[in-house]
Copies of this chain bind each other. A is one copy, B any other.
Amino acid sequence: MIPSFNFTTIPHILFGPRKLNELFEIIPKFGKNVLFVIGENSLKNSGRWDAIVTELIHKSLNYYEISITGEPSPRLIDDSVGKFQHKKLDLVISIGGGSVIDAGKAISAMMFKKDSIKNYLEGIGNKIHDGKKLPFIAIPTTSGTGSEASKNAVISEIGPKGFKKSLRHDNLIPNLSIIDPELMISCPPSISAACGMDALTQLIEAYVSPKGNPITDALAINGMKFMCENLLKACSLGASNIKVRTAMAYGSLISGITLANAGLGIVHGLASSIGGYFDIPHGVVCGTLLSEASKMNIKKLEEMGVSGREALRKYAQVGALIKGKNTVENRDIKDHCSNLINTLNDWTDQLKLDRLGKYCIIIDDVDKILNKTGIKNNPVNLNREEIRSIIMNRL
Contact = CB atoms under 8 A, between A and B. Distances in A.
Interface string A1-19: 1111111111111111101
Q: How many copies does the complex hold?
A: 2
A15 B10 contact: no
Contacts of A9: 9-12
A18 to B, nearest CB: 8
Contacts of A10: 7, 9-10
Nearest to A8: B12
User: Which of the four size classes fits the interface of chain A?
Assistant: 35 or more
B4 A214 contact: no
B2 A250 contact: yes
A219 interface: yes
A362 interface: no
A222 to B, nearest CB: 4
Contact of A219 (B12, B16, B218, B327): B218
A77 interface: no
A278 interface: no
B6 A214 contact: no
B226 A222 contact: no
A221 interface: yes
A331 B341 CA distance: 33
Interface in A302-330: 325-327
Contacts of A1: 242-243, 246-247
A215 interface: yes
A354 interface: no
Nearest to A250: B2
A213 interface: yes
A170 interface: yes
Given A12-B8, A13-B7, A246 B170 contact: no
A285 B177 CA distance: 38
B2 A6 contact: no
Nearest to A170: B12
Contact of A218 (B213, B218, B247): B218
A279 to B, nearest CB: 35
A228 to B, nearest CB: 14
B226 A214 contact: yes
Contacts of A243: 1
Nearest to A244: B1
Contacts of A219: 215, 218-219
A7 B15 contact: yes
A15 B11 contact: no
8 contacts: A4-B19, A5-B16, A6-B15, A7-B15, A12-B170, A214-B226, A215-B219, A217-B222
Interface of A: 1-17, 19, 170, 213-215, 217-219, 221-222, 226, 242-243, 246-247, 250, 254, 325-327
Given A218-B218, A218-B219, 13 more contacts: A1-B247, A2-B16, A3-B16, A4-B15, A4-B16, A5-B16, A6-B14, A8-B12, A9-B9, A9-B11, A215-B222, A218-B221, A326-B327
The 9 closest A-B pairs by CB, nearest first: A4-B16, A218-B222, A326-B326, A7-B13, A1-B243, A218-B218, A326-B327, A2-B246, A9-B12
